[in-house]
Structures are given as C-alpha cells and as structure tokens.
C-alpha cells in the first residue's frame, strides 16, 4: 500500500532510465507495484529490461470473487511474475499453505512465474523450529509442477522484515540449503528453483547478502521505494 499514481509512475520512470543507462543489467530485475498501477507502469517499462510483477492474486481463472484479481487478469495487465504467500499475507491476512498453493497453481496455469515466500516468525525461531517451518511451507505451498521455469522461492524470516535486523550469513545459508533440499526431494524440476533472500535488504548490506553462495537474488521491501537505494541493490548483484 505505497505510491499513488504520480509517485508510482515517477519511481518506475526513474528505474527505467537507470536501466537504459546501464545497458545490460547484472541480474533479472522485477518490480511489483500495487494493482492500481500495473497497467500504467507496464507502459513505462516498455523497451527496458525491467519486468513487471504483481503482489498477489486470487485463486482460479475467473468467477464470483469480488475484490480478487486473477492471474490471467494480471497477465493481461502486463505481468510476468506474481508474488504468493508473502508473510504479510500469511500472518496479516491468515493465508494458509493450502491457499498459497492454489494461488501458485493459478499463476502457473496463466503461464507466469510465481515468487513464493516462506519464512519463520520470531517465536518459531526462538523455539528452534526454523527448519521445520521452512520444510512444511515449501512442501505444502508448491504444486507438483513447480520448477525453475515457473517458480522462485523467497526466504523471508518474518522477524527481519522492516526491522533492520538480518540473520547472519551462516543462518541465511543454512535456511537456503533447507529450502533447496526440500524442493529437490519433491522430484521433477524442484531442485532448479531459484532461491532469494528477503528481509531488510538495503543498499549497504546487499553485496554481502548476495555474495552468500546459496543466495540467488533478493526480495526487496522498503528499499524499493527509493530508486537510488533500490539501484544500489541491483548494482550489488555479482
């Protein structure tokens, strides 16, 4: 719930100019603005290498779901990616693993890439349940067709989001290895899924986080609201 039209377009335009000036980007870059801005920002980003994503979607292709927006509708608005199961949806809106899984399946059915978020709360971490929570969420949130071509998993420890706190490099690496192991043992192309880290990623810590061998990208929150700060993260990609 950030950015009205003028601010959103201004931010997207600045990112587009930075992308064009950079030429070839060092990594894949995706922006996920509020649904009200998607179509207009899709126009702004044309001819740049920045892809467009949505923050959430409804379940199914169409029907009587007042207030929901289907993955097919988001694709029609220019999206290539959709986030599912963000911690603010799981813990703030009560979304279960089963519901996240249905949303991810809808994203796949629309031919888009799902960015599936998983992560433990502070209470779960204090009880040494991090690995158990990650195993359960990955296994229950991913459909059997999930693989590197249609799914990205983002590890975002709930206690780190917006807090300015981040796990140590060893803790991040261990969590990513657990996610990789669970995804791989599900069979199919699960072992090829890209795993991102999210949780207070900023311009001044991005390089260190992205240098961790198990980390294959970042899910950026508040730092994405300032073009210069966000672009520092882009430029930190190895």
Q: What are the structural domain ranges in the chain?
A: 5-235
Below-70 pLDDT ranges, the chain:
none
Could you tell me how far CA 149 lies from the centroid of its own chain?
A: 15
Question: Contact, 41 vs 12, CB < 8 A?
Answer: yes
Give the whole-angstrom CA distance, residue 87 versus residue 200: 13
Out of 3.40.640.10, 3.40.50.720, 3.40.50.880, 3.20.20.70, select the CATH number for domain 5-235. Answer: 3.20.20.70
Q: What is the pLDDT, as a whole number, of residue 189? A: 86
pLDDT of residue 162: 75
Query: What pLDDT was estimated at residue 217?
Result: 98
The reported pLDDT for the residue numbered 188 is 82
Residue 35 C-alpha from the chain's centroid: 15
Strand order in 151-155's β-sheet? 29-31, 50-54, 81-84, 113-118, 151-155, 194-198, 218-219
Per-residue pLDDT of 156-206, as tens digits, reads 999 888 777 889 999 999 999 999 999 999 888 889 999 999 999 999 999
Annotate 84-107 with DSSP letters as a single string: ES-HHHHTTS---HHHHHHHHHHH
Taking a C-beta distance cutoff of 8 angstroms, is the pair 80, 52 a contact?
yes
**Which among 88, 154, 143 has a CA at the least distance from the CA of 117?**
154
Quick one: tokens of 25? 């980007």
Catalytic positions are 86, 156
Are 230 and 189 in contact by the 8 Å Cβ rule? The answer is no
């Amino acid at each position: 719930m950030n950015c009205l039209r003028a601010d959103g377009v201004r931010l997207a335009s600045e990112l587009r100019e930075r992308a064009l000036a950079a030429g070839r980007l060092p990594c894949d870059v995706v922006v996920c603005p509020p649904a009200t801005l998607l179509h207009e920002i899709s126009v702004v980003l044309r001819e740049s290498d920045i892809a467009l994503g949505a923050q959430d979607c409804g379940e199914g292709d169409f029907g009587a779901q007042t207030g929901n927006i289907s993955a097919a509708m988001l694709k029609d608005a220019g999206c290539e990616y959709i986030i599912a199961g963000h911690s603010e949806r799981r813990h703030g809106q009560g979304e279960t693993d089963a519901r996240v899984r249905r949303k991810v399946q809808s994203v796949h059915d629309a031919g888009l890439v799902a960015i599936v978020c998983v992560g433990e709360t502070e209470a779960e971490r204090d009880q040494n349940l991090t690995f158990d929570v990650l195993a359960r969420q990955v296994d229950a949130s991913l459909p059997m067709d999930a693989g590197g071509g249609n799914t990205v998993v983002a590890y975002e420890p709930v206690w780190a989001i917006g807090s300015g706190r981040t796990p140590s490099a060893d803790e991040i690496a261990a969590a990513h290895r657990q996610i990789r192991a669970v995804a791989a043992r599900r069979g199919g192309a699960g072992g090829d899924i890209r795993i991102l880290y999210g949780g207070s990623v900023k311009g001044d810590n991005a390089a260190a986080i992205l240098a961790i061998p198990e980390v294959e990208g970042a899910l950026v929150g508040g730092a994405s609201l300032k073009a210069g700060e966000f672009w520092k993260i882009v430029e930190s990609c190895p």
